[in-house]
């Protein structure tokens, strides 16, 4: 049997369209010209289907050629989506909200990170990149955060196998602070996947959609399906190349009038005869302050634009080659992807090489086997960020205009800077490299036995294993070493991770009558997690620029490991009635090693969802083409982290917060203590996310308008929490089930097919979502608690009655009408206690995509709007204090802070600019509330113009496109691009900006060839 599959609209071929013999697994795909060939038994019925078209069944009879023209289905009425555990279901039957995106959404975004590529693509998804530096992590939260201190990100599943998406920050066993606040921006491990390998993405936003994943799906799940091979004549080859040019898109406004110094007197660092800063012969250490004289007043001084001199235009190259082929027995796809990104910070880059083979074969009519294997090598050179005297932005933005940073080393190669105790940003970029080298293998194999429509059995086992070897160097004379001694340091950190996942799934269907049937699923699942982290460090290096532990006079090592095993049995029943009423119930019982075995280690997670396509019964023959209501309830979970059912001793680092403290071995003596240990709880339970959601999907005017609205109310109970305790109890925290949290929200997705002619089309897609998060309770007697250790003056808190993660810091004293109360020295008075000063999560998110297509030309523009989302701008506060901001150049005057005195009369006390910018607008005693800004933005996240040239000879097509990311950004935020996060995806702190590396704007040219 042969034939050609085309579109009904313009008879163009439909490469890749599916042909299946009804009632069997036998099937094939059309080749590049739309031709197919398949052997079929007599009397068979062929089913022709493809994404975006209405599928069609044809009785073969005795024909040997069947050509079909499939009708376009722009709203994808029969859209098949991948749901939990890889089950493919028609979208119309689903009783819960899912978002389904095609893989080109990721590639078109120009983002190398399959997480960041989801930003502003659908409703109810909050993506936050940590910075614009190559390889930096992106954090994704669906709807709103479901838990306090545990994992808040969804489960990431690729081809049915969950993969590791951790963001691991290197930290030695004796490092006492939150390592997320400094160091480098690490990668989230999903970054290892090549967006060009992704065929589609399904986002399971709520617990109803993800309940079958049990205790790992309390935050929802994102299911990536990779591209597969197809049967066709010859081998199809696609090649594409992208060139990307990036530049910094936003920096704070700095003054260039006043020089380095204090009290109007100029001073700068002078290392003395040894040409090395920070030593006893220093003539002057300099100052970080720019309260010196006017640059114009001193002929020996001139102003430099250091940020402009420092940042560069970054060039990135992406190359992808894929080969696909097969026949009706077997198919394959091999792909190779290479990404090389340069950073806007000198000497930073990120390289990723991926190679992937996917193959499937029909061994008999009933037996299909297949598998995927991929090898990934990724990593790069990263720059120091955040609260870190070797941080690039810390030293760069603080650098006085009077100091030219470009001359960054003395002739002897030592750090040259304006202040002895910071590294010159050039010096740290070139001399203190952090490198990571990730080698990762992901693979899965499956065997599928299809006996009949009543019995279909699949066993799948997948492995995701990687090693991550990191090296951090602090050159001799760099201040970045742990003790700021400038003696040089080298850290090695070797992380290995292995996730193994296996499941056995039985599926089938049974029809009770023509109208009424059931699909059933039952299965078993096993998963293990093994991670090790070996850290070693050498300090006091002898030979410059030689990095090996042998070169160190002081050695330290620490190691850690974490393991988890879970098994589960699960089942699902999907009833359908009269092609309009659908009921689905699921259940999963799960066992995990992270519970105390002798008490109870297994728990059950149920869900139920109902949907009714009412247009099958009512409102027929109206402008409403399609209408469906849905309702779902589910419980999914979040499991405890390992080793929290008991209390352990730890190797202490006694510190007061200012130094790295005292550690063991101490003068050769060892010690163990409960210092900074967490009290365990034997009878831990999983935390449960109980979600109720309802939705309405309607399509009007022959599917020209598609509206989907979801409302949800998700409550997390028994929250597993590393709950801070009063240290007078002897412990700083205990791990227990306590607290409740609620997320309520609305998600609206509207698609308008405004114009559709054979030559021209205009589509508008609009997504809008709002989430309201509220902490309902914490634990007995506690109404406020810290989520994670942060800076002394500012933290992220859970407060009863407020949204999770509110910024928490010092506040001004105010009278009833909100005016500041000014003290005798002319400065406002601080409140004695800290409190909530801003919600870091947005009020709402919206995005609009307009797509215009004229013949082969497509113009698409994605506008991304965010309202609200407080950010603590610690950078700007410090820059005010040290006199670097443009505002602080207005200093030839006094200031009177608006407010009232203690007696209620208006304040008239004039203060110096130093007090005004330092202690009121700056962080020398200024209230933290003063530094909180809303991270509103309006950005043109994506604009692209692409053209497909179809050719006949040698080549099928040529794709050309020109696009830009963040071409336009409008924001009230005073510092860098407000899409920023100091703590990255590995942390639950949100809205922290303290000398974060900046974001970027980029221009991308790409060319693709299809053979």
Partner 1 sequence: MKKIILSVLVLSLVTSSCQNKFDEYAVNPNSPETASAALLLSATEVSTFATFGGEQSRIASVLVQQTAGNQFQYQTYGQYIITEADIVNQWSAIYNGPIVSGRTLLDRYGEGNPYYSGMAQVLMALNFGLATDFWGDVPFTEAGQALSGNFQPKYDSQETVIQGIQSLLDQAIANLSQPQTANTFLPGEDDIIFKGNTAAWINAAWIIKARYANRLSQIDPAGSATQALADLSHVSADQPDMNAVFYDYAGNFNQWYEFLAVRANYIKMGQYFVNYLQSTSDPRLPYLVAKDEAGGYSGLPPEESDNSAASDPGPAVASADSPTPIATYAEAKFIEAEAQLRLGKADAAATAYNEAVSASVQRITGSAIPAAFQQSTASATAATVSLEQIINQKYVALFSSPEPYNDWRRTGFPRLQANQQSQRKAIPLRFPTSQNERNYNRNATVVSDIYQPVWWDK
Near partner 1 in 252-291, by CB under 8 A: 262-263, 278, 282-289, 291
Residue among 296, 315, 792, 906 that touches partner 1 (CB under 8 A): 792
The DSSP string of 128-150 is EES-SSTT--EEEEESS---SSS
Site for partner 1 in 541-560 (CB under 8 A): 554, 556, 560
Q: How far is the CB of 313 from partner 1 (least distance, A)?
A: 35
Q: Which is nearer to partner 1, 125 or 476 (CB)?
A: 476
Q: How far is the CB of 54 from partner 1 (least distance, A)?
A: 35
Neighbours of 913 (CB within 10 A): 17
Helices (H), 274-424: 306-310, 392-398
Query: Among 321, 234, 337, 319, which residue's Cα sits nearest to residue 15?
Result: 234
**Residues 168-197: x where in contact with partner 1 by CB under 8 A, - otherwise, as a string:** ------x-----------------------
Q: Is residue 732 part of the contact set for partner 1 (CB under 8 A)?
A: yes
Residue among 8, 296, 557, 673 that touches partner 1 (CB under 8 A): 673
d(CA 944, CA 954): 27
Site for partner 1 in 768-787 (CB under 8 A): 781-786
Q: Is residue 900 part of the contact set for partner 1 (CB under 8 A)?
A: no
Q: How far is the CB of 600 from partner 1 (least distance, A)?
A: 13
CA distances from 53 to 14, 49, 483 (A): 10, 7, 64
Neighbours of 455 (CB within 10 A): 13
Site for partner 1 in 825-854 (CB under 8 A): 825, 827, 829-830, 832-834
Site for partner 1 in 362-391 (CB under 8 A): 366-367
Q: Give the three-state DSSP class for 359.
A: strand
Q: Is residue 795 part of the contact set for partner 1 (CB under 8 A)?
A: yes
Q: How far is the CB of 601 from partner 1 (least distance, A)?
A: 7
Q: Is residue 725 part of the contact set for partner 1 (CB under 8 A)?
A: yes
Query: In this structure, what DSSP letter does residue 107 have?
Result: H
Q: Which is nearer to partner 1, 50 or 812 (CB)?
A: 812
**Residues 601-630: x where in contact with partner 1 by CB under 8 A, - otherwise, as a string:** x-----------------------------
Q: Is residue 563 part of the contact set for partner 1 (CB under 8 A)?
A: yes
What is the edge-to-edge ordering of all strands in the sheet holding 678-679? 678-679, 733-737, 720-724
Q: Is residue 199 part of the contact set for partner 1 (CB under 8 A)?
A: no
Residue keyed to tokens 């955040």: 386
Q: Which residues pair with 7 in a beta bridge?
A: 70
The DSSP string of 413-426 is S-B--SBTTS--HH
Q: Give the three-state DSSP class for 408.
A: coil
Residue keyed to tokens 């009519």: 365
Burial of 110 (0-12, 13-18, 19+ CB in 10 A): buried
Q: Which is nearer to partner 1, 479 or 966 (CB)?
A: 479
Q: Which uninterrupted H or E stretch holds 728?
A: none
Q: Is residue 856 part of the contact set for partner 1 (CB under 8 A)?
A: no
Residue keyed to tokens 């009038």: 257
Contacts of 858 (CB under 8 A, 6+ apart): 851, 852, 944, 945, 946, 947, 948
Q: Which is nearer to partner 1, 604 or 648 (CB)?
A: 648
Q: Which is nearer to partner 1, 83 or 725 (CB)?
A: 725
Q: Which is nearer to partner 1, 320 or 836 (CB)?
A: 836
Site for partner 1 in 289-328 (CB under 8 A): 289, 291
Query: In this structure, what DSSP letter does residue 193 have?
Result: S
Q: Which is nearer to partner 1, 864 or 929 (CB)?
A: 929
Please measure the distance between the N-terminal and C-terminal CA atoms of the chain and give it in whole angstroms: 25
Q: Which is nearer to partner 1, 650 or 898 (CB)?
A: 650
Number of residues that bind partner 1 (CB under 8 A): 116
Site for partner 1 in 91-130 (CB under 8 A): none
Q: Which is nearer to partner 1, 571 or 671 (CB)?
A: 671
Which two tokens mark 972? 């009230």
Q: Is residue 520 part of the contact set for partner 1 (CB under 8 A)?
A: no
Determine the Cα angle at 236 with ends 231 and 240, to 5°: 140
Q: How far is the CB of 569 from partner 1 (least distance, A)?
A: 10
Only segment of 99-107, 523-531, 838-846, 965-973 that touches partner 1 (CB under 8 A)? 523-531
Q: Is residue 485 part of the contact set for partner 1 (CB under 8 A)?
A: yes
Query: Among 74, 105, 85, 108, which residue's Cα sits nearest to residue 201?
Result: 105
**Residues 445-474: x where in contact with partner 1 by CB under 8 A, - otherwise, as a string:** --x-x-x-----x-x-x-------------
Q: Give the three-state DSSP class for 105.
A: helix
Residue among 823, 856, 868, 913 that touches partner 1 (CB under 8 A): 823
Query: Among 379, 334, 375, 315, which residue's Cα sits nearest to residue 352?
Result: 379
Q: Which is nearer to partner 1, 191 or 568 (CB)?
A: 568
Only segment of 22-30, 229-237, 426-434, 789-797 that touches partner 1 (CB under 8 A)? 789-797
The DSSP string of 804-826 is TTEEEE--B-B-TT-PBEE-TTS
Number of DSSP helices (H) and strands (E) in the chain, helices first: 7, 56
Q: Give the three-state DSSP class for 868.
A: strand
d(CA 182, CA 172): 13
Q: Which is nearer to partner 1, 455 or 949 (CB)?
A: 455
Q: How far is the CB of 562 from partner 1 (least distance, A)?
A: 8
Q: Which is nearer to partner 1, 565 or 960 (CB)?
A: 565
925's torsion region: left (phi>0), alpha (psi -120 to 50) or beta?
left
Q: Which is nearer to partner 1, 504 or 583 (CB)?
A: 504
Q: How far is the CB of 590 from partner 1 (least distance, A)?
A: 12
Q: Is residue 702 part of the contact set for partner 1 (CB under 8 A)?
A: no
Site for partner 1 in 47-86 (CB under 8 A): none
Site for partner 1 in 630-659 (CB under 8 A): 642-643, 645-650, 652-659
Site for partner 1 in 493-512 (CB under 8 A): 502, 504
Q: Which residues pair with 468 in a beta bridge?
A: 438, 495
Residue among 539, 704, 742, 866 that touches partner 1 (CB under 8 A): 539
Residue among 296, 561, 755, 949 that touches partner 1 (CB under 8 A): 561
Q: How far is the CB of 431 from partner 1 (least distance, A)?
A: 20
Helices (H), 316-421: 392-398
d(CA 974, CA 874): 11
Q: Is residue 666 part of the contact set for partner 1 (CB under 8 A)?
A: yes
Only segment of 67-75, 747-755, 820-828, 840-848 that touches partner 1 (CB under 8 A)? 820-828
Q: Which is nearer to partner 1, 481 or 747 (CB)?
A: 481
Q: How far is the CB of 792 from partner 1 (least distance, A)?
A: 5
Q: Is residue 663 part of the contact set for partner 1 (CB under 8 A)?
A: yes
With contact defined as beta carbons under 8 Å apart, do 571 and 521 qualify?
Answer: yes
Site for partner 1 in 405-444 (CB under 8 A): 420-421
With contact defined as beta carbons under 8 Å apart, do 968 and 940 qualify?
Answer: yes
With contact defined as beta carbons under 8 Å apart, do 845 and 866 qualify?
Answer: yes
Only segment of 352-360, 425-433, 788-796, 976-984 that touches partner 1 (CB under 8 A)? 788-796
Q: Is residue 591 part of the contact set for partner 1 (CB under 8 A)?
A: yes
Q: Which is nearer to partner 1, 383 or 794 (CB)?
A: 794
What is the edge-to-edge ordering of all strands in the sheet holding 68-70? 35-37, 2-7, 68-70
With contact defined as beta carbons under 8 Å apart, do 912 and 894 qualify?
Answer: yes
Contacts of 966 (CB under 8 A, 6+ apart): 249, 939, 940, 941, 977, 999, 1000, 1001, 1002
Site for partner 1 in 926-985 (CB under 8 A): none
Query: Among 940, 814, 824, 810, which residue's Cα sits nearest to residue 874?
Result: 810
């Amino acid at each position: 049997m042969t034939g050609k599959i085309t579109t009904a609209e313009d008879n163009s071929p439909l490469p890749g369209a599916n042909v299946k013999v009804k009632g069997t697994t036998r099937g094939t795909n059309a080749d590049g010209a739309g031709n197919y060939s398949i052997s079929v038994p007599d009397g068979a019925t062929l089913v022709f289907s493809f994404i975006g078209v209405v599928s069609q069944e044809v009785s073969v009879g005795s024909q040997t050629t069947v050509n079909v023209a499939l009708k376009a289905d722009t709203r994808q009425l029969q859209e098949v989506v991948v749901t939990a555990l890889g089950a493919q279901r028609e979208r119309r039957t689903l009783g819960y909200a899912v978002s389904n995106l095609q893989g080109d959404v990721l590639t078109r975004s120009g983002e190398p990170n399959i997480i960041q590529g989801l930003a502003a693509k659908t409703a109810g998804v909050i993506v936050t990149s940590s910075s614009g530096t190559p390889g930096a992590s992106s954090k994704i939260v669906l709807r709103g955060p479901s838990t306090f201190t545990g994992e808040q990100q969804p489960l990431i599943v690729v081809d049915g196998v969950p993969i590791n998406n951790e963001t691991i920050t290197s930290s030695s066993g004796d490092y006492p602070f939150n390592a997320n606040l400094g160091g480098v921006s690490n990668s989230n491990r999903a970054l290892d996947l090549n967006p060009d390998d992704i065929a589609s993405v399904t986002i399971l936003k709520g617990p109803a959609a993800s309940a079958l994943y049990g205790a790992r799906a309390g935050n929802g799940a994102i299911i990536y399906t990779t591209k597969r091979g197809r049967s066709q004549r010859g081998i199809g080859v696609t090649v594409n190349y992208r060139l990307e040019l990036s530049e910094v898109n936003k920096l704070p406004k700095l003054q260039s009038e006043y020089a380095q110094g204090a009290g109007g007197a100029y001073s700068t660092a002078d290392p003395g005869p040894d040409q090395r800063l920070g030593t006893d012969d220093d003539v002057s250490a300099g100052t970080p302050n720019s309260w010196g004289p006017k640059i114009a007043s001193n002929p020996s001084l001139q102003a430099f634009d250091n940020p402009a001199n420092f940042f560069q235009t970054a060039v990135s190259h992406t190359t992808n080659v894929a080969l696909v082929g097969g026949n009706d027995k077997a198919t394959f796809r091999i792909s190779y992807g290479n990404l090389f990104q340069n950073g806007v910070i000198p000497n930073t880059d990120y390289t990723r090489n991926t190679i992937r083979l996917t193959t499937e074969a029909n061994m008999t009519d009933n037996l299909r086997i297949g598998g995927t294997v991929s090898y990934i090598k990724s990593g790069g050179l990263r720059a120091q960020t955040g609260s870190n005297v070797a941080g690039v932005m810390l030293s760069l933005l603080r650098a006085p205009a009077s100091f030219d940073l470009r001359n960054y080393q003395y002739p002897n190669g030592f750090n040259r800077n304006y202040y002895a105790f910071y590294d010159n940003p050039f010096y740290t970029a070139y001399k203190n490299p952090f490198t990571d080298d990730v080698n990762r293998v992901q693979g899965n194999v499956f065997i599928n036995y299809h006996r009949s429509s009543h019995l279909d059995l699949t066993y799948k086992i997948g492995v995701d294993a990687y090693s991550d070897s990191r090296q951090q160097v602090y050159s001799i004379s760099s201040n970045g070493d742990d003790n700021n001694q400038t003696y040089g340091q080298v850290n090695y950190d070797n992380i290995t991770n292995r996730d193994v996942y296996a499941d056995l799934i039985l599926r089938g269907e049974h029809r009770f009558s023509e109208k009424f049937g059931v699909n059933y699923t039952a299965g078993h699942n096993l998963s293990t997690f093994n991670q090790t982290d070996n850290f070693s460090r050498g300090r006091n290096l002898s030979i410059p620029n030689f990095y090996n532990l042998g070169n160190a006079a002081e050695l330290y090592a620490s190691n850690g490991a974490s393991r988890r095993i879970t098994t589960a049995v699960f089942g699902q029943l999907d009833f359908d009635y009269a092609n309009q009423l659908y009921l689905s119930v699921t259940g999963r019982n799960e066992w995990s090693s992270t519970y105390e075995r002798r008490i109870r280690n297994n728990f059950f997670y149920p869900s139920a969802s109902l949907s009714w396509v009412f247009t099958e019964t009512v409102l027929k023959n109206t402008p409403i083409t399609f209408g469906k209501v849905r309702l779902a309830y589910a419980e999914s979970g979040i499991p405890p982290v390992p080793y929290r059912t008991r209390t352990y001793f730890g190797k202490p680092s006694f510190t007061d917060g200012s130094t790295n403290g005292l550690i063991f071995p101490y003068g050769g003596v060892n010690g163990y203590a409960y210092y900074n240990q967490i009290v365990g709880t034997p009878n831990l339970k999983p935390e449960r996310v109980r979600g109720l959601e309802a939705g309405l999907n309607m399509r009007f005017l022959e599917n020209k308008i598609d509206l989907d609205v979801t409302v949800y109310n998700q409550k997390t109970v028994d929250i597993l929490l590393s709950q801070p305790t009063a240290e007078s109890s002897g412990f700083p925290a205990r791990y227990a089930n306590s607290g409740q949290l609620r997320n309520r929200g609305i998600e609206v997705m509207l698609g308008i097919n405004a114009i559709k002619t054979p030559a021209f089309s205009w589509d508008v897609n609009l997504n809008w979502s709002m989430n309201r998060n509220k902490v309902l309770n914490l634990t007995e007697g506690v109404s406020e608690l810290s989520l994670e250790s942060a800076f002394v003056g500012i933290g992220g808190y859970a407060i009863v009655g407020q949204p999770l993660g509110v910024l928490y810091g010092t506040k001004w004293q105010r009278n009833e009408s909100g005016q500041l109360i000014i003290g005798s020295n002319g400065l406002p008075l601080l409140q004695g206690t800290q409190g909530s000063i801003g919600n870091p999560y947005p009020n709402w998110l919206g995005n609009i995509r307009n797509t215009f297509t004229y013949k082969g030309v497509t113009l698409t523009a994605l506008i991304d709007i965010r309202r609200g989302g407080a950010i603590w701008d610690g950078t700007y506060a410090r820059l005010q204090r040290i006199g670097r901001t443009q505002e602080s150049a207005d200093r030839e005057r006094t200031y009177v802070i608006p407010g009232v005195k203690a007696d209620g009369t208006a304040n008239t006390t004039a203060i110096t600019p130093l007090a005004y910018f330092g202690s009121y607008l700056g962080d020398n005693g200024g209230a933290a509330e003063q530094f909180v800004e809303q991270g509103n933005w309006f950005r043109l996240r994506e604009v692209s113009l692409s053209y497909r040239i179809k050719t006949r000879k040698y080549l099928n097509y040529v794709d050309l496109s020109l696009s830009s990311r963040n071409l336009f950004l409008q924001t009230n935020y005073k510092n860098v691009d407000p899409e920023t996060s100091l703590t990255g995806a590995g942390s639950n702190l949100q809205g922290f900006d303290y000398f974060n590396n900046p974001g970027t704007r980029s221009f991308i040219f790409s060319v693709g060839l299809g053979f």
